[in-house]
Structure 1
Amino acid sequence: MHDIESLAAVATGRTASLFADDLAETQGAIRAAVEGRRLLIIGGAGTIGSSTTELLTRFSPAAVHLVDQNENGLAELTRNLRSREGGLGDIEFKTFPIDYGSAIMGLVFDTEAPYDLVLNFAALKHVRSEKDVPSLLQMLDTNLVKNRSLMDRLAESGFAGRYFCVSTDKAANPVSLMGASKRVMEHLIFSRACTPEFRGGVTSARFANVAFSDGSLLQSFVNRLAKKQPLVAPRATSRYFVSPRESGEICAIAALIAPPDSILVPRLDPAEHLVELEAVARGFLAAHGLEVDLIEDEETAKRAARSAARRYPLVLSALDTSGEKPYEEFVGSHESVRDVGLHSFEAVSYVPAPAGSLEALLDMVDRAMSGTAPLDKGALVSAIAAVVPELRHKETGRNLDGRM
């Protein structure tokens, strides 16, 4: 049995945090921003949200309220926090298993005292979720429309603190509509035309894949091994990885230390930190005392998995589904970075969207969701591309739902 941090070390190649020095040097500032404050964490049950919550609750906030539709995830996070040494102390800790964009969310603001810091981790984050109009609209609703609604409700409640919303490396020079939706999200939260201005400022962060996080390819290795299914990974594909603990550190520093209107990104060296997915699969099996058996035919691999003893089947697939990016980057070709006094981070300066394009996209999505303006995927893609001119999306006719 392996815990998630020890498994993450298989992918990252490290057990110590890459951001330990920055965390140590900013602890005082983090404590000053959190201690005695009221925190609202949206999407707190996911891997990144729960890792950030675990870290921030160690700095003595007055209250931490978590919102997530995954009630099982909320229950597990609560058990973990209360079972750790010291538990949650005197923190007012509440969980709300609700949709953060629903009318019920308004009741939270009506019945709870005002918040000082809001962190939003809610997102549809899979490239597979852009395959058709209903799925794409749900992605835009979650990543954009509900985000706008949340910020409006915060403003109406008198919120004057800092707002943080996590982004993704796939928002830099996006090729997927998912990545483009998160780039649009960046425009949304920094745009004064569509969302309110908060006195404490707005920040975001782009960073690498979180190793063995919920729903990730690497987590599928754990699930497939338990179910005696072949492991599957794209051929000749490399990715950057951070551990779940590191993801929480990134978000805490970005939410509390980064300058307003900036997107924090880690300084990662391709030569040192890029890892081939096949190598991660091999390391994962080695950690379980198994060797790799490379098999091309899926049916043969399925039979081999059911009878595997010392060697376990791994299928390497082509990277040819729509929206898949063969490489990773954190800074777009039209963007610039600046130093923010941190060892392992720099900040991307926000570049606004073309005038009127964001408002036009949001209006199209609103009308499509209300049923007043039926549209096809091509129209949505064109509207997204107007906001994100750097989008280089290509439909290949293949998506991950058609793959093992």
Structure 2
Amino acid sequence: MTQRSTDGGLQKLATGRDISLFAKDVADQSDRLNAAICGKRILMIGAAGSIGSHTLMQIAGFGPAALHVVDHNENGLAELVRQMRSQPDRWTLNDFQTLPIDYGSAAMGHFMKSQPGYDAVLNFAALKHVRSEKDPFSTLQMFETNLTKQARLIGWLKETGFKGRLFTVSTDKAANPASMMGASKRVMEHVLFHSAGAQALGCEKTSARFANVAFSNGSLPQAFQFRLERGEPLAVPADTRRYFVSLEESGEICILAAFLAPDQTIAIPRLNPDDHLIPMQDVAEEFLRHHGYEPALYDDEVLACRSVEPERQQGRWPLLVTPLNTAGEKPYEEFSTDEETIIEFGLESLKAVVYLPAQTKRIEEALSQLQLILDGTANAPLDKDRLKAIIAHVEPGFLQTHRDSDLNLDERL
């Protein structure tokens, strides 16, 4: 859904800054962005979510001729329309459409064939939670959304003669992936840049790996807000540091990456561990202080839940600190691997990872294996090891980097 607002003070709790790191580049590059967007036809997929909707707001300000939004979340689309229509002086939208359809569905194929060509397509649709590897069925859905439907979209674009720019969001968790989610986004990069369909498409393709978006839908900081409202303890993993960008910054990163990054590159923010990796426990504690409570640390879930009211009466709030031992969780984050090459492309806030190809044959074999499972024609039963093997067929290093565990995030507060 579209993002509920958060005040600047809350954003600063996670990012540690008052001013966007990326706004200056957007302003400095406004002429180039205007040339790429003004009067152009833009398709945005999955843009009713936090990152997509904030990117849409950036794009709309440059006056595209058409701005079409596809997202299966019809409630999110309704809110997006209300927000856009309520600010007529800010946007100039001659052709603004929202469609509540799945981007890999037959309806999407029919829609694509009905439209004149697009100048740019931006894809934000993804299953993005580490917790989705809790069972093979959720993992399969994640792979279908992140991989199979991406390949299908590329095929439809080829059929319509697309020659513009194609952008799909990745994640920092794709670098040395510890989770099935991160690994699926790494393979998504391969599908985007080097699958047989991508090579036949013949357009410019870019992506972006970036940090956690503070207070975005589904994020842990957003959960702090909900838990405080519901009278529940907050919870954070111990000894865990994360990069954060604000909601506004997420849209700025994506517009810069989608329209200005060089072909076959993945934009990454110019963040460094010493200055920008933030301990999650610090964010939770400062969040509580922002709301007038001192944190009361707990390591027992039941006791933390029972202690909300007694602690509240003393001006404190329970904060449960849990071990970092569930499947796919990584204690720190990184934007690139040692094997990847990083280049400059003229921006102060972003640089770019040059895409490092996997074998096209292996990408296609993985997509075929996945399709057999989705079609129900595969012989072997569906299990986690089988899905992991499909990823490892393209990314063999995942067998070493995956942080597997019998515990999952759904078993935690």
TM-score by length of 1: 0.96
Structure 2 residue aligned with 1:257: 260
Cα distance in 2 for residues equivalent to 1:268 and 1:85? 35
**2:199 & 2:46 partners in 1: Cα distance?**
21
2:129 aligns with 126
Match of 2:336 among 331, 348, 364: 331
Structure 1: runs of 5 or more not aligned: none
Q: Per-residue displacement from partner, 1:172-227 (whole Å, max 9, x unpaired)? A: 01111110100000000101524354454000000110001100111100110111
Alignment of 1:395 onto 2:404: yes
Matches within 5 A, 1:81-100: 81-84=84-87, 86-100=89-103
Matched to 1:387, the amino acid is V
User: Partner of 2:250 in structure 1?
Assistant: 247
Q: What amino acid is aligned across from residue 41 of structure 2 in structure 1?
A: R
- Figure out how many residues of one structure are paired with residues of the other and give that number: 404
Shift of 1:333: 2.3
**Matches of 1:212 and 1:100, distance apart in 2:** 25
CA–CA separation in structure 1 for the residues paired with 2:337 and 2:318: 38
The CA deviation at 1:334 is 1.5
Once the two structures are aligned, what percentage of the paired residues are identical? 50
2:166 corresponding residue in structure 1: 163
Matches within 5 A, 1:1-400: 3=6, 5-84=8-87, 86-307=89-310, 308-309=312-313, 310-354=315-359, 356-373=361-378, 374-375=380-381, 376-391=383-398, 392-400=401-409
Code of the aligned partner of 1:284: F
Q: Aligned to 2:332, what secondary structure does the other structure show?
A: coil
Match of 2:43, SS? strand
- The letter of the residue matching 1:346 is K
CA distance in 1, matches of 2:393, 2:114: 40
CA distance in structure 2 between the partners assigned to 1:233 and 1:269 by the alignment: 22
Post-superposition offset of 1:6 = 3.7
SS of the equivalent of 1:59 reads: coil
1:161 and 1:198 in contact (8 A); partners too: no
Assess if the C-alpha contact under 8 Å between 1:5 and 1:244 holds in 2: no
CA distance in 2, matches of 1:170, 1:211: 16
Question: In 1, distance between residues paired with 2:216 and 2:73?
Answer: 15
RMSD: 1.6
- Contact 2:329–2:403 at 8 Å: present in 1 too? no
SS at match of 2:410: helix
State the Cα deviation string for residues 370-390 of structure 1 (Å, max 9, x = none).
111134321221221121122
Does structure 2 retain, via aligned residues, the 8 Å contact 1:43–1:49?
Answer: yes
- Aligned equivalents of 2:330, 2:298: Cα separation in 1: 24
Q: 2:93 & 2:54 partners in 1: Cα distance?
A: 20
| Partners of 1:85 and 1:280 in 2: CA distance | 36
Deviates more, 1:90-99 or 1:257-266: 90-99
- Displacement of 1:90 in angstroms is 3.8
Cα distance, 1:11 vs. partner? 0.5
Give me the whole-angstrom Cα distance separating, in 1, the residues matched to 2:83 and 2:293: 30
State how far apart, in whole Å, the 1-side matches of 2:113 and 2:386 are: 38
Tell me the SS of whatever aligns to 2:36. Answer: helix
Q: Secondary structure at the match of 2:75?
A: helix
Cα deviation, 1:254-303, whole Å, max 9, x if unaligned, reads 00000000001111121111111111011111221121111222222112
Q: In 1, are the aligned partners of 2:162 and 2:203 still within 8 Å (CA)?
A: no
Question: Is this contact kept in 1: 2:195–2:363, CA < 8 A?
Answer: no
CA separation of 1:107/1:87 partners in 2, compared to 1, >3 Å: closer, same or farther? farther
Deviation at 1:355, TM superposition (A): 5.1
Give yes or no for contact 1:265–1:347 (8 Å, CA) kept in 2. yes
User: Does the Cα contact within 8 Å between 1:162 and 1:198 map onto a contact in 2?
Assistant: no
SS for the counterpart of 1:224 is helix
Q: Which moved more, 1:168-177 or 1:83-92?
A: 83-92
